[in-house]
Amino acid sequence: MKITRISLWHVPLTAHVTYAMAAGKTCATVETVLLALDTDEDRTGWGEVCPIPHYLPAYARGVAPALQEMAPILLGADPVGPEAVMARLERHLQGHVYAKSAIDIALWDLTGQTAGLPLHALLGGRQAETMPLYHSITCIAPEEMVRIALEAQGQGITQFQVKLGADADWQADVARLRMVREAVGPGPLVYGDWNCGATSLEATRVGRAVRDLDVMLEQPCATIDDCARVRAATGLPMKLDESAHDTATLLEGHAKGCMDVVAVKLSKFGGLSAARRARDLCYHLGARMCIEDTWGSDITTAALLHLGAATMPERVTNVCDLSGYVAPRLAPAGPIRDNGRIAPPSGAGLGVAPDREALGPPDMILD
């Protein structure tokens, strides 16, 4: 089997609410990039990557030129065995992991289809039938965040990510964490996420004001050193996200004692192949994982769910149904949450595919 054509689409995804985050970051309508790898055996592998502006060194319109650079390696390649193809791509074009993430997912989709197996069977074997979800709460007035939390809790959600720092008022962030924690009651996981938008001073003030509560902090500062400083000053457990994106940063977060939990996001590491390696390192380091992606719809959601299902349940803090936060849905049979949990699609490969006619003509074709 050989790859004969590469097609790419840019699709705007609108969030169900505008997400306000620290340092003026917002997420309202974001462009996702869909990728199709067609083969000479009439199989198509699908990939997706959806960077959020101002979040990581990645942007949606950067995928197409990176793909043009990599096309000579992809066209004519046998897609079965994604890690071998990805190694050749890395030798040809170093970095650009977000663009490679979509390619890697599509290669895994084709490999699964060829084997007649769902991806979780190829990523280590299914260890969980369903996985817990978290609900991300935009940074608005504390009372409104409580309302959103209680609504999600009524749908079975038991984990709540409370966005912090949008108004640069550390006392308001204290109220957000305290009020959501008290509203959902004992037991559920509550954690406050600054998305790198706080100084160590601000985050420490918030953490010390709520350290009587059962809460976790997420990525308060841009550097691992500053996150470690906050972890030590507050005594609260911490999740790393933006600053943990490869082997070196995972080892650094662990060594500095601030990686109780880590976000293993597909596009941040470079796709399923690299995320699987990160997962296996986290087994060794003892870190729990949130297996997810930056943003996106049904293709990347399906991919991360397959990886989550093939991971030890005791190491999976949660996964994310990204496609449940946006419109339009790109795959009619995409996975949906059920009482706070979710399962990967059935069927070979990813188990989902977009409606190609609904997508319309591709924005780029390479053959």
Show which residues are catalytic. 163, 265
- In whole angstroms, give the CA distance from residue 49 to residue 365: 17
CA–CA distance from 217 to each of 128, 145, 194, 279, 317 (Å)? 27, 17, 8, 21, 14
Q: Is 168 left (phi over 0), alpha (psi -120 to 50) or beta?
A: left
Pairing of strands 288-292, 26-39: unpaired
Whether the ω angle into residue 220 lies within 30 degrees of 0, i.e. cis, is no
The 10 Å Cβ neighbour count of residue 224 is 21
Segment holding 143, helix H or strand E: helix 142-153
Tokens at residue 323, please? Answer: 């496609």
Whether the ω angle into residue 142 lies within 30 degrees of 0, i.e. cis, is no
In the chain, the amino acid numbered 306 is: H
- Do residues 132 and 105 lie in contact, with contact meaning Cβ atoms separated by under 8 Å? no
- In whole angstroms, give the CA distance from residue 301 to residue 304: 5
Using CA atoms in the order 223, 226, 231, 233, what is the torsion angle rounded to 10 degrees?
A: -170
Taken as a whole, the chain contains a residue count of 367
